[in-house]
Structure formats: structure tokens, C-alpha cells
Amino acid sequence: MNSPEARTLESATAAFVSFTPQGTMTPVNAGSVPDNKTRRYDRQLRLWAASGQNALESARVLVISGSATSTSILKNLVLPGIGHFTILDAEKVTPEDAGNNFFLHQSSIGKSRAEEAVKYLAELNDSVESVADTSTLANIILKDPTYLASFTLVIAHNMSTLDLVPLSTLLWENAHNKPNPSPPLIVIRSAGFLAEFAVQFHEHTIIDSHTEALPSLRIDKPFPDLETHALALEFENMDLTDHGHVPYVVILVRALHEWKQKHDGSPPKTYAEKKEFKSQLTNMKKKIDEENFDEAVAQAYRAWTATSVPREIEALFSDPACTNVTSESTPFFLLLHALSHYTRRTGLLPLSSTLPDMKSDTTSYIHLQNLYKTRAREELEDFAKVVSGVLDEVNAPQELRTTVEGLIDEFVRNAHGLKVMRGRRWGDDDDGALLAAIASYPAHVATHLALSALYSFEKSQGRYPTIGSADDLGAMTAWVRERLGKAGWVEEPDPEPQNAGIEVDAEDEEDEDAPEPEPTFWKRVQNALGEVARAPTSDLPTTAAFLGGLVAQEAIKLVTKQYVPLEGVCVVDLVASTTGVITV
Amino acid sequence: MAEVVAPNQPSGDWQGKYYHVDQVLETPGPRTSDAFAAGDQVKGFLRNQSKILVIGAGGLGCEILANLALMGFKDIHVIDMDTIDISNLNRQFLFRPKDVGKPKATVAAEFVMQRVPGVTVTPYYGKIQDKDDDYYMQFNIVVCGLDSVEARRWINATLVNLVDESNPDSLKPLIDGGTEGFKGQARVIFPGVTSCYECSLDMLNKPVAFPICTIANTPRLPEHCIEWASVLEWPRVHGSKKLDTDDPEHITWLYNIASTRAQEFKIEGVTWALTQGVVKNIIPAIASTNAIIAASCCNEAFKLATQCAPYLNNYFMFIGTEGIYSYTFEHQRRPECPVCGGETIDVQIGKEWTLEKLMEWLLEKQDIQIKKPSLSTDGKPLYYQGPPQLEEATRPNLEKLLSDLVPNEGEISVTSTSLPFTLTLRVTYT
């Protein structure tokens, strides 16, 4: 991800801006020594840039309970500079709490857990605002239903089912409230070495997904100035130095043009033709060691890869939020709507101005780069007109118009990696999805069911299982059996020794060389239930820290709207040292 | 404050302190091996006998120290040669602005001891190379949170060499973590038994290196202009004065030179931050990824020390950029690994190869990764990087045919400051 090819000139230059004391950022002279705040955040600004940092600093997170897992998550959000966090916790610090939580101290015992945890977390970053709230959730929701809507994200660790159900329902149902929609919710459950978490959200759109896919260079559909340039070069009359420095992009455009003339306008199609095309490139060499021609051969696939609107982007155009835009639409969907109009006319995404590095001399490379930049600017202006038309059509108010227009650059630069995610409501598993997940990821589903059994037990008994209790393990086991029976799961027979390994193909992450036969699904369930029964109320510091990192990464991705967040349930098994994602 | 310390508790402990950890130490789980001695025995070993070394007190090291202390390791040592910089504060959570400039190992150790009563963290502010075999022999487990390939190779080779088959205590499990942005990995190495760090060198991203001729003659990227300023212009203008990449004035000088060159060639995009990033080879780093990888390392250390659950065999890879992806697998040993394979490397060489060509080939090789190698055969120098008289005396050999210097199936010894062992090549001419 750090290769010079992947880095664009734009991101290299646009990533760095400075901060004003108010916390908003304005581009400054890129040549000055950065101020203290920029220096402090340098290693993360190189990932999510000023736009991500601004989003993070505007975010307000509510974390319910001051458990070790909760403070581990918060630590990883306070350090990078989240705007605000509240810990909601009515409990007092117990001796047990002070033993597994780095953000409590022996001297915290007996004091408010919210206040103590906030005190030790706030030390990490002076620019973060923090609140310790010692009320109970039930009281808060009763007193002020709008309280939750003041947050960007709510995080709940090992919350009692009786509290979680109304909380998740409230957040889900009020997610479209105007003017204060309810935020997404992350639900985390852990016991000993096992854990899982999921994000409840309706919709998440991403402009900058940081995709590793590269935008097309349009070798197969060269824009006029690129084609003219490629056809004007006189390879035959060049001296050896110039010939060895023609950028491979130009070589490919030229070679493809000549190929098409001899092949009824078609690019190389069959394996034999592709091979022939490559050998023609090699034959163009004047000297054996011309690296630019070697690059052309290595990149030859670009000549027969048709540039079109990527299927994943095309699919977004039929999303109802994209087809029906109004002045209430989000900037993302207004831009996406405009993009669907634009591509219907052109058949192509607007050109990205980024050109990877390639063997060339400075003049040829910069000339080529300018051709791309000029064309990209023209297409951007063209797209901006379409956007303007869309904004007129929906009668967009001035504020929305300004926001949308300010995003056009970034939108076009990342058009090949746009994402729309539709999330799910937190709650019970779907039978069909559960069966499908068992077939694909039996180990992860087993962990998920064991943790579901733990919280089903907690809900029905009003207490957690007693550590090591066989009766309580029996009750949880019975619950899983019943749940599986309801889903229509049929227990498979114990595998015959000679059959061992045949079923393994269905799983994509087991070690095929393992001499041990794969455990049956029921055995996996028993393994997971056994772990839960062994440590039903253990918030193990290493598991807490592991979750702290995972959940904070997801929170950052959700808040910054950069990178791609989790889709489904993330399952963690630190006995096996694995993670997995299942959709149930 | 509540007085909760019971009279029979060891210093710094209190009733209930280990409530969460003890749940997994008091009973085995379904996948726990028979070697697990549940209850007081395993707790006693973990808390009174085990001794663990943490290498690095930076992004991973801070997390590792805090985790180990909470898990019940009480005798922890930490080595780090760095001092605290302001850019560490976005993730190295044991440090505060007032600590900038102080040694990381010392500040981290004090912080953990203050926050977690009863734990002893012994810091060493210096290099891992300062310590000898006896020092490393005293530990049960070594956990590494380093950002340097060179230091990892050194500790890996040192622990492999420490193995004495007649002494089981000489086998020191090495747990190694590393991160970059949203990605990272954790692994467990049993020196001489499992794949070692050197076995997997070819998995590293090839370091970005720009050819000198591009930098000097055909710059295209802002990076090329920055390299020109730091590699060619700095020594030309400043002579023997060393470039200090931590000195903002030096970076500003490079930035100005690079900008001028970029303007001359009409190249856009040279910024101060990019200049700093290129010359310091900055790798993006965030607290959350470090937390995941450090937790994974400490989880394995805890499982190794207690046997309460099977440990990782042997590699955990994590990618958080697109959803959550991880892959747990067994990385295989490389039989020809120069550290744990103990074999000489056979190389087929064209008859027309000069010694210089062999040197270039060595520098390119991804599974060796060497800088400035010195070569000798049969105890005689072929080419030495120093001292200057020897370099000068051996320089004429560079142009000679290798077959005139080394017989067929002859052996060449390769040494380098970047290589913590002597590499032996056996050459065959084709």
C-alpha cells in the first residue's frame, strides 16, 4: 500500500494541511515545518488525511459500561483524537474491575467506574472532550429520548439482553428521525478467549474506500490527445536513448492501434493472439535491455482489458436512493445520480488524472502526465455540469449545493471504488443464513452460537452462568440444540476415519495438511460452549485489548467514511487464534 | 480509598485482582492439552517464576507491556534504544507530552509499575546487541514489537544460535509482531523447530528503492527529487556532516533543494511532509492496529507460559482495510534458511560473471536482503567494504571474472553489518 505506484500525486500533496486553533483545517504552505498537532498525528494523517481527521474530531462516541473491553476501545479512539466520548456506567469499581482494566487503578476501588475510567482515559489526549455519566441507561432513555441522537456512534459491551433489546430497537427505529437521526450501534459480547461483535446501521456510503484497484489508463480507448501523441512518435528514427524512454503507456496505445488495423478493429482476444501481441512488443525493441518495452509486455493486459464502468459501480446506479434523488438526498447519492447520467452518455467513468511511475525520461513522462491531467480536468468539468443539472432538478438549497460541489474532486478521483453498504438490524439469526454459514464457516458459527447461548441464559435466568457449572453448561447446550433444530439443522454422523478430509474442501480456512480429522460441527459447538462455561464472566485483558483494536478500527472506518467496514458478525476465537466474519 | 489488601496477598495484589484471568487458569477448556497444571501450580509459575523479555517500547511495546502486566506476568524486562518523539503520542499511550526526549524503555517501565501494582518492569535503554547470550538465557519467552528488520534478524539469529540440544531451557520461544497502517501480523517462533524470521524474509514488501540513474538523470516523481536532495546533494554540500532525519532544519533544507529541482523539471507534489516521509521511510501507524497485534502476541505468550490453551502455530496475518480479514496458518521452514537451516546456499553462476556482478545479484536477492557485503574465500578477502586500505586493495577484484578468483564448487563467505551471521555460498559455474 506504500508503493509509489499506488500513491497518487494528489494524495501525496492533498494529505497534508494544518490545523487552526479552532480545530478546523485549512491548507497551508505545504513547505512549512508542521505544527505540533500535525506532528502528533503524522502517522495517522498518512492514512486518512485531513478529511478523515476532521471527521474523527467531529465525532461523539457513547460507550456503555467501563469494562476492560470498553476502555480498550476508547483508548484507541482517544489517542487518534476523537471529538468527544461519554462513558455511561452507574456501577462502582470492584476489586475485580481494578485487576483487569489498565484505565482503572487499585485506588479506584469503590469509586464511580465511569468517573475513574474517564479520568485515566482523558489523560491520553488533551484535545478530547470527555464525560462520565453515572445514570442508568433505562433512566436516560426515559428522561431524554433525544440523548442518544447527540452521538455519532454507540458502543455496548456485554450488555444485558434486557437493556440491549430496547436500546437497539430505539436506535434502529429512529435512524431516519429529522433533524437528529439515531446513530449506528456496535454490540460486543465476550467471554474468556471467545468474542463477537456486529454493527447495526441502515446505510453506509463510502467515497474513498482506499481500494487497491487502480483506475483505467484507457489504453484501449485512448482520448484524442493521447492517441495523436502515440501515433505521432517516429519509433524508427529515434536514437537509442529516446527509444529506451518512451513510456509504456504510449508504446501500448501505439501497438494496439497498429494491431487493430490489421485485425478488423479488434484487440487481441485469444491466448495465441495475446502471445503474438506481446512478442510484437518485444520485437519493437532496438536493444535487448530496453526496460520500457519490458514494462509494456508486463502491462500488455491493459490493451485487451476493455475500459468500461466497473460492474460494482454500475450496480449502485439501480439503488433506489440513487434513482430517486430529492433535495433531502445525501450528497453521496446526488453525486452518484449524476455519475449514472454521465456514464450513460460516455460509457466510462471520468478519467482519473493519476499516472503510475514508469520507465521514461522526465520530459516524456511529464508530457504524458499533462495529457492525462488536461483530459481529466475536461471530464471533471463535464461531470460538474451534470452535477449542477441534478442539483437544479431537485432544487437543492445553497448549503447542500456547496457541500456537493466541494466533493466533486474527491468523488471523481475515487469513482472506481465507491461503495454503498446496507446494514442489518441487531437481533436474532435468520435460519437459512445460519445453515449456510454452518456449511462455510463451522468454527465461527459454533463460537457465535455459544455466545448467543450465554446471553440467552443471562436473559432467561437473570444471571450469568456459574463458573465451571455443569448444570449451566447443560442449559446452554440445550439452548443451542433447540436453536439448531428450529433452523432445520441435522447432525452429521461422526466421520469415518477414511472419509476424513473429504468434507474439508467446503471450508476455506482449515489446514489441509492437518493429520487430525476435522471435528464435526457439533464437536465445535461443544468446544465453544466449553470455553464459555469455563470463563463465562471473564473479560480477559488480552481479549479485551484485541477487541479494543478491532472495534476501534471499525469505529474509525464508520466515522471517517474511509476504508470498508465490517459486513456481518465478526467472530474471535483466541484459543485457535482466528477471526472470521459470518452473515447470520 | 478502600483498604482491600489482604494480609496474605503478595505485595501489590488484592483479593479479586485476578478474577478475570483466573477463570481460564482454574479449569481447562475442551481444547486444552494435558500438560496444563490448572490452579495454584500454573498461577505460581506465571506470577513467581516466569521471566519475560519485551524488545521495543514503541507502538507495539507499550501495548505489550500493559497487557503482560494485566495478565499476571510479574517479572518483565524491556529494551529500547529510542527516545520519545511527539509523533509517538498518537499511539504510544504510556507517554505524555512532558516525556518527549526521554528514553522510551524507562518511561514505559515506570508507567506500567505505577498503574499495575506488584509488577516489576526492568528497563534497558540501549541496543539489543549490547546484551550477550547469558542475558538472553535468563528469559522464558521473548516478545518483539520492533519496526526494524535488522533488529529482528539479529534477535532471531541470536535465539537460534542459543539453542543447545542438551539443554531444553536454551529454547526460547520468540513471539514477533509487526504492523503497517490497518495491517499487521503476529507469529510464534520456536528457534530451530518452526519456521524462523529469516525463513520468511521473502514475505516482506520489497523496500522501495529508486535507481541512482533515475534520481540523477530522469526524475519523474516528487520522491525522485527528494532522493536527489538527500542521497546526492546533502553529501555534496555538507561533506561528512551526517544527515539527521529527526532534525526539522535538515528536512527543511532537503525540502527546499527538492522543490527547486522539481520546479526545474516541472514535477508537482514535493511537500515538507512527503520529504520527511521519504527520507525517514515513515510507515503509517495507528493505536488500534497495534492493539490487535500486541494483544495477539500477549495472548500467545500467556498461552505458552500457562499451557491453558493451545498456542498459535505459527502465523497470524491481519488486514483491516476492507472488512476484517485474517489468516492463521503454519509458515513452513525454509530448508536452505541461512539461520536455522544451517546449510550453505548453492548458486549457479554464469562463466562470464564478474565479482561485481555477483555483488549486484546479492544486493537484489529478496530472501537475503543484504547491504554493503564483504566477501572472502578460503580465508582470503575478495572484496571488503572497509577499512579503506583493504577496500582499495580489493577493489580491482570487482572487475575480475569470478571463475578466476574462486574454483568451481568453491565457497564464498559473505558478511555484512546488516547480517547477523556469515552467509556461505557454494558456487557452480554453468
8 Å CB contact between A583 and A567: yes
- Return mean pLDDT, chain A: 91
Can B213 be counted among the known catalytic residues? yes
Mean pLDDT of A129-136: 96
Cell matching residue A321: 436512493
Residue whose C-alpha cell reads 437497539 in the numeric block: A168
Query: CA B385 to CA B363: how far, in whole Å?
Result: 14
Q: DSSP state, B338?
A: T
Q: Which of A374, A397, A422 is the last residue of a domain?
A: A422
Q: Please give the span between the terminal C-alpha atoms of chain A, in angstroms, as a whole number.
A: 32
Give the model's confidence band at B124: pLDDT under 50 very low, under 70 low, under 90 confident, else very high: very high
Q: Collapse the DSSP code of A60 into the 3-class scheme (helix H, G, I; strand E, B; otherwise coil) and give the result.
A: strand
pLDDT at A513: 55
Query: Could you report the per-residue pLDDT of A91-117, keeping only the tens digit for each?
Result: 999 999 999 999 999 999 999 999 999
A128-142, A240-254, A443-457, B134-148: lowest mean pLDDT where? A128-142
Continuous segment of H or E residues that includes residue A18: strand A18-19
Please indicate whether, in this complex, the C-beta atoms of A123 and B267 are within 8 angstroms of each other.
no
Q: How far apart (Å, rounded) are the C-alpha atoms in residues B370 and B351?
A: 24
User: Which of B87, B91, B320 is opposite residue A553, by nearest beta carbon?
Assistant: B320
CA nearest neighbour of A534 among B310, B19, B28, B308: B28
> Which carries the bigger pLDDT value, residue A497 or residue A156?
A156
- On whether the CB atoms of residues B278 and B269 are closer than 8 A, the answer is no
**Do A45 and A190 fall into the same domain?**
yes
Residue, of A34 and A553, whose pLDDT is higher:
A553
CA atoms within 13 A on the CB side of B188: 23
d(CA B40, CA B304): 17
Residue corresponding to grid cell 572484496: B383
- From the options 3.40.50.720, 3.30.420.10, 3.30.499.10, 3.40.50.300, give the CATH code of B20-202+285-329: 3.40.50.720
| Cβ contacts of A16 on chain B, cutoff 8 Å | 271-274
Question: Does the pLDDT at position A502 exceed 50?
Answer: no
Q: Residue ranges of the alpha helices (H) in B116-238? A: 133-137, 149-162, 212-216, 222-227, 234-238
Three cell numbers written together for B144: 518483539
Domain boundaries, chain B: 20-202+285-329, 212-279, 344-429
Question: In the listed set A148, A167, A202, which residue is the last one of a domain according to the structure?
Answer: A202
Contact A79 B91 (CB under 8 A): yes
Interatomic CA distance for residues B99 and A536, integer angstroms? 40
Last residue of a domain, one of A271, A287, A303: A303
Which residues are registered as beta bridge partners of B120? B75
Burial classification of residue B335, based on how many CB atoms lie within 10 Å of its CB (0-12 exposed, 13-18 middle, 19 or more buried): exposed
> Residue B94's pLDDT is what?
98
Q: State the pLDDT at residue A499.
A: 47
B173-198 mean pLDDT: 96
Q: What is the pLDDT of residues A554-572, one digit of tens each?
A: 999 999 999 999 999 999 9
- Determine the pLDDT at residue A32: 82
The closest CB to that of B23, out of A79, A107, A538, belongs to: A538
In the block, which residue shows the cell 460492474? A311
Contact: B31, A575; criterion CB under 8 Å: yes
User: Residues of A with CB below 8 A from B208's CB?
Assistant: 2-4
- pLDDT at position A468 is 87
Q: Does the complex come out with an ipTM higher than 0.95?
A: no
Q: Domain check: are A155 and A286 in the same one?
A: no
Which cell numbers in the block locate residue A37?
498537532
Among A22-31, A321-330, B337-346, name the one with the lowest average pLDDT.
A22-31
CATH of B344-429, one of 3.30.365.10, 3.10.290.20, 3.30.56.10, 3.40.190.10: 3.10.290.20
Q: 3-class secondary structure for A170-223?
A: HHHHCCCCCCCCCCCEEEEEEECCEEEEEEECCEEEECECCCCCCCCCCCCCCC
Residue A19 cell numbers, joined: 490545523
10 Å CB burial of residue B389 (0-12, 13-18, 19+) is exposed
Report pTM. 0.91
Place of cell 518511561: B107
Tell me the C-alpha distance between B256 and B266, whole Å.
15
User: Which of A124, A539, A581 lies closest to B323 in CB terms?
Assistant: A581
How high is the pLDDT of residue B335? 85
Asked if A100 and A190 sit in the same domain, the reply is yes
* pLDDT for the residue numbered A64: 97
To the nearest whole angstrom, how far is the Cα of A202 from the nearest Cα of chain B? 17
- Give me the pLDDT at residue A515, please: 61
pLDDT grade for A437, boundaries at 50, 70 and 90: very high
What pLDDT sits at residue B154? 95
- First-residue to last-residue Cα distance in chain B: 80
pLDDT band at residue A534 under the 50/70/90 scheme? very high
Q: In B96-218, at which residue ranges do the beta strands (DSSP E only) sit? A: 120-125, 141-145, 174-180, 183-189
Q: Please, what's the b/e burial string for B138-152 (b: 16 or more CB within 10 A of its CB; e: otherwise)?
A: ebbbbbbbbbeeebb
Cis peptide leading into residue B314 (ω within 30°): yes
Contact check, Cβ <8 Å, A526/B30: yes
B1, pLDDT greater than 60: no
Q: Within this chain, do residues A270 and A191 fall inside the same structural domain, yes or no?
A: no
- CATH of region B212-279: 1.10.10.520
Q: Would you state the pLDDT for residue A445?
A: 98
Structural domain of A109:
41-202
Nearest to A12 by CA among B267, B182, B375: B267
Spatial separation of the C-alpha atoms in residues A66 and A89, rounded to whole Å = 6
Residue in chain A nearest B6 by alpha carbon: A95
Among the residue ranges A34-38, B297-301, B333-337, the one predicted with the least confidence is: B333-337
Whether residue A571 is contained in a domain is answered as: no
The confidence score (pLDDT) of residue B228 equals 96
- Residue A6 pLDDT exceeds 90: no
Are the beta carbons of B344 and B426 closer than 8 angstroms? yes
- Residue A136, classed as helix, strand or coil, is coil
**Residue A514's pLDDT is what?**
52
Is the pLDDT score of A322 beyond 70? yes
Q: Do B292 and A1 touch (CB under 8 A)?
A: no
Output the pLDDT for position B204. Answer: 80
Task: Note the residue count of chain A.
Answer: 584
What's the mean per-residue pLDDT of chain B? 92
Same domain as A262, residue A165:
no
Residue A16 CA to chain centroid, in angstroms?
A: 22
Contacts of A502-505 with CB under 8 Å at 24 or more apart are: none
Determine the Cα–Cα distance for residues A423 and A439; give it in Å rounded to an integer. Answer: 23
- pLDDT tens for A449-478 read 999 999 999 999 999 999 989 999 999 999
Nearest partner of B3 among A114, A98, A106, judged by Cα: A106
**Chain A contacts of B209, Cβ < 8 Å?**
none
B-chain CB neighbours of A358 within 8 Å are 220
How many domains does the structure of chain A reveal? 3
pLDDT at A504: 45
On whether both A293 and A408 belong to a single domain, the answer is: no
Helices (H), ranges, A263-397: 271-283, 291-298, 301-304, 311-316, 320-323, 331-346, 362-393
Nearest CA in chain A to B287: A76
Q: Is the Cβ pair B14, A107 closer than 8 Å?
A: no
* Closest-CA distance of chain B to residue A309, Å: 21
Looking at the predicted structure, is the pLDDT value of residue B109 above 60? yes
Whether B287 and A537 lie within 8 Å, measured CB to CB: no
- For the segment A197-201, the average pLDDT, to the nearest whole number, is 98
pLDDT recorded at residue B380: 87
pLDDT in tens, A229-268: 999 999 999 999 999 999 999 999 999 999 999 999 999 9
Which residues pair with residue B315 across a beta bridge?
B187, B329
Contact A540 B20 (CB under 8 A): yes
Q: Is the domain of A342 the same as that of A234?
A: no
> Which residues, 6 or more positions from A311, have their beta carbon under 8 angstroms from its beta carbon?
none
Cβ atoms of A142 and A162 within 8 Å: the answer is no
**Is A113 in the same domain as A187?**
yes
Contact residues for A429 (Cβ-Cβ < 8 A; gap 6+): A452, A487, A584
Mutate to test the interface with A, among B22, B23, B316 (most CBs of A within 10 A): B23
pLDDT for residue A132 is more than 70 = yes
